[in-house]
Amino acid sequence: MKRIFSGVQPTGNLHLGNYLGAIRNFVALQHDYECIYCVVDLHAITVWQEPAALRAHTREVTAAYLAAGIDPKHSIIFNQSHVSAHAELAWIFNCVVRMGWLSRMTQFKEKAGKHRENASAGLFVYPSLMAADILAYKATHVPVGEDQKQHLELTRDTAQKFNNDYGVDCFPITEPLILGAATRVMSLRDGSKKMSKSDPSDMSRINMTDEADAIAQKIRRATTDPELLPGPAALDEAGRLPEETRKARPEAWNLLGIYAALSDKSWSEVLQEFEGAQFSAFKKALTELAVDKLGPIGAEMKRLQADPEHVDGILRDGAERAAAIAEPILREVQDVVGFLRP
């Protein structure tokens, strides 16, 4: 059986990267997999969150899932802290993963910054909680953006080590699903940084709830270079974009990638369309497309957020269904480890 698990942190400012790299794929995968989509509030508090904002942002992510088209009758949508198996399994995994593995995680290095000793211990063990999220459901596939690839590797290593240490075949070796033309959407201000909720500059990202004029302004002011847009000759024989080519003009390729993803066109179609164009003309077309695709989702998110009882009801129902899957798996793991049954 193929089972999907994935999550988004309720840390505010949901953006185009979250949509193209994650949420849009969550919607598409519903037809072929059993899907479990989580609002990962335990992950969010690894960096400080105001309690009232955390509550609002938890409902915001839920609203984004629903507005983008995840069907709560078909897929499970729930909140991580409502199912205690996540935290319980994470503790067991904290005793399986090695300090050395965690020390190599680039997300920790980036988020902890220069003063690592001031980072929360939770931020350091974030990847073992993520392994627990996935393996509490024995999920076989995890759709994520490219930035989470390294954490997924750690999940696979954790499953393997647990299976080896205890001589069991308990956990699957989960496959990442990194899908679409925009698996790593970059900041609009700096083509070397990924678009992030936690970037202090709102101009660096297009939020899923931005109005048309904000989207237009952000795209107009997005960093570009002085050259005209490239044509299909920039691609390799297989129609892929060589990494060196991307690196030479990161901002231009980022905007072109967003266009390709939002329009569901291939690189070569997009490059044919805009070969030799000025950025001003391309940015106009990109704005129209982004407003067209995000506008209805943003409006529906706002409508849903105005009805917190409805949203909370969906999370309650989802938590029950998620717990029904996770609890027997946790019990199996506890037996393997040698915990007495209560």
For the CB of residue 138, give the shortest distance to ligand ATP in the complex, in Å. 20
34-39 β-sheet, strand order: 76-79, 34-39, 3-8, 141-143, 175-177
- 197 or 283: whose CB is closer to ligand ATP? 197
Span of 122-130, 192-200, 268-276, 316-324 interacting with ligand ATP by CB under 6 A: 192-200
Rg of the chain over all Cα atoms, to the nearest angstrom? 21
**Count of alpha carbons within 13 Å of 277, Cβ hemisphere only?**
19
- Angle, helices 85-94 vs 121-135, to 10°: value is 110
Residue closest to ligand ATP (Cβ): 21
E strand spans, the chain? 3-8, 34-39, 76-79, 141-143, 175-177
Annotated active-site residue 111? The verdict is yes
C-alpha angle 297-299-300 in degrees, rounded to nearest 5? 65
Among positions 34, 41, 133, 147, the unique one binding ligand ATP when judged by CB under 6 A: 147
For the CB of residue 53, give the shortest distance to ligand ATP in the complex, in Å. 12
Among positions 3, 4, 22, 72, the unique one binding ligand ATP when judged by CB under 6 A: 22
User: 18 a known binding residue?
Assistant: yes
By the rule CB under 6 A, 207 interacts with ligand ATP: no
Annotated active-site residue 194? The verdict is yes
User: Would you say how long the chain is, in residues?
Assistant: 342
- Asked whether the CA dihedral 316, 321, 322, 328 is positive or negative, the reply is positive
Annotated active-site residue 114? The verdict is no
38: helix, strand or coil:
strand
For the CB of residue 8, give the shortest distance to ligand ATP in the complex, in Å. 4
Cβ–Cβ < 8 Å for 63, 301: yes
Measured CA to CA, the distance from residue 322 to residue 318 in angstroms comes to 6
Q: What is the DSSP string of 179-222?
A: -SS-SSPBPSS-TTSB--TT-S-GGG--BTT--HHHHHHHHHTS
DSSP state of 230: P
Cβ–Cβ < 8 Å for 283, 219: yes
By the rule CB under 6 A, 9 interacts with ligand ATP: yes
Burial label for 317, CB within 10 Å (0-12, 13-18, 19+), is middle
Active-site residue among 73, 109, 193, 197? Answer: 197
For the CB of residue 318, give the shortest distance to ligand ATP in the complex, in Å. 18
If you search the block for the tokens 């952000």, which residue do you land on? 218
By the rule CB under 6 A, 180 interacts with ligand ATP: no
Site size for ligand ATP, by CB under 6 A? 19
Among positions 85, 185, 222, 304, the unique one binding ligand ATP when judged by CB under 6 A: 185
By the rule CB under 6 A, 194 interacts with ligand ATP: yes
Among positions 70, 195, 229, 252, the unique one binding ligand ATP when judged by CB under 6 A: 195
Among positions 55, 82, 161, 184, the unique one binding ligand ATP when judged by CB under 6 A: 184
Among positions 4, 5, 18, 181, the unique one binding ligand ATP when judged by CB under 6 A: 18
User: 158 a known binding residue?
Assistant: no
User: 79 a known binding residue?
Assistant: no
By the rule CB under 6 A, 25 interacts with ligand ATP: no
Among positions 17, 176, 257, 318, the unique one binding ligand ATP when judged by CB under 6 A: 17
**Contact residues for 201 (Cβ-Cβ < 8 A; gap 6+):** 187, 189
Measured CA to CA, the distance from residue 181 to residue 235 in angstroms comes to 14
Active-site residue among 194, 218, 283, 293? Answer: 194
Active-site residue among 2, 73, 111, 265? Answer: 111
Closest residue by Cα to residue 148 from 119, 183, 181: 183
Among positions 3, 24, 197, 249, the unique one binding ligand ATP when judged by CB under 6 A: 197
Give the footprint of ligand ATP on this chain (CB under 6 A): 8-9, 11, 17-18, 21-22, 144-145, 147-148, 183-185, 194-198
List, by residue number, the catalytic residues: 111, 194, 197
Residues at the binding site for ATP are 9-11, 17-18, 145-147, 185, 194-198
Residues at the binding site for L-tryptophan are 133
